[in-house]
Amino acid sequence: MGILDMFKKKKESSPSPEIEEEHEELPPLPEIKMDPELDEPVAADIPEPDVPEIMVDDAELDEEEPEELPENLPAEVPEPLAPQPAPVQAPEPDIIRTQLPPTIFVSVNDYQKIMDGVNFVKSKISKAEDDLKVLNSLQNAEEKELNSMRSMLEDVQRKITYVDEVIFQAG
């Protein structure tokens, strides 16, 4: 037998006749009795174990004092920890990860350019917020003007309707 023989495909072997003989010798399973009313299997007649009964007077239980615990024991007994299942870890994706060096050096000129860019963006955001506040105040003023014009038109319409009714009633 050579070293490479273990990599060859193994021949399939049929079950041995000894195993088949063992299966034939097994005893048959007992029949399950069915309850005709409930249509369920009936529990087998299981004999009750012989356990001697202990006779205790209720008065004796009340008179007994609880045992004193030694002073060096903790007041609370910790609960036994239940075995916790091992955390399941997802398989790692096949991604090549590059690690950054622990320290990154940036030239002063590059840092100043970055900071100038950040400050520029901050100032633009601040200006945009101020412009939004102005637009909201203009919109609110415009709505007030439109509401006052609407109420004036409704008032004029009511007056015209009144004058119209007076003219037709008189005539």
Q: pLDDT 10s per residue in the chain (171 long)?
A: 566 666 666 665 555 555 555 556 777 777 777 777 766 666 655 556 666 666 655 555 555 555 555 566 555 656 656 666 666 666 666 666 677 667 778 899 999 999 999 999 999 999 999 999 999 999 999 999 999 999 999 999 999 999 999 998 876
CB 1 within 8 A of CB 7: no
What pLDDT, on a 0 to 100 scale, did the predictor assign at position 128?
97
Per the structure, how many domains does the chain have? 1
Domain membership flag for residue 146: yes
What pLDDT, on a 0 to 100 scale, did the predictor assign at position 34?
74
CB 109 within 8 A of CB 115: no
Domain membership flag for residue 101: no
Count of alpha carbons within 13 Å of 134, Cβ hemisphere only? 6
Domain membership flag for residue 94: no
What pLDDT, on a 0 to 100 scale, did the predictor assign at position 44?
58
Domain membership flag for residue 72: no
Domain membership flag for residue 34: no
Q: Which residues contact 42 (CB under 8 A, 6 or more apart)?
A: 32, 33, 34, 35
1 CB-contact burial (10 Å; exposed 0-12 / middle 13-18 / buried 19+): exposed
Neighbours of 5 (CB within 10 A): 7
Domain membership flag for residue 96: no
Instruction: Write down the pTM of the prediction.
Output: 0.34
Question: How many angstroms separate the Cα of 6 from the Cα of each of 1, 3, 9, 11?
Answer: 9, 7, 8, 12
Residue 164 lies in domain: 106-171
What pLDDT, on a 0 to 100 scale, did the predictor assign at position 69?
54
Domain membership flag for residue 113: yes
Domain membership flag for residue 155: yes
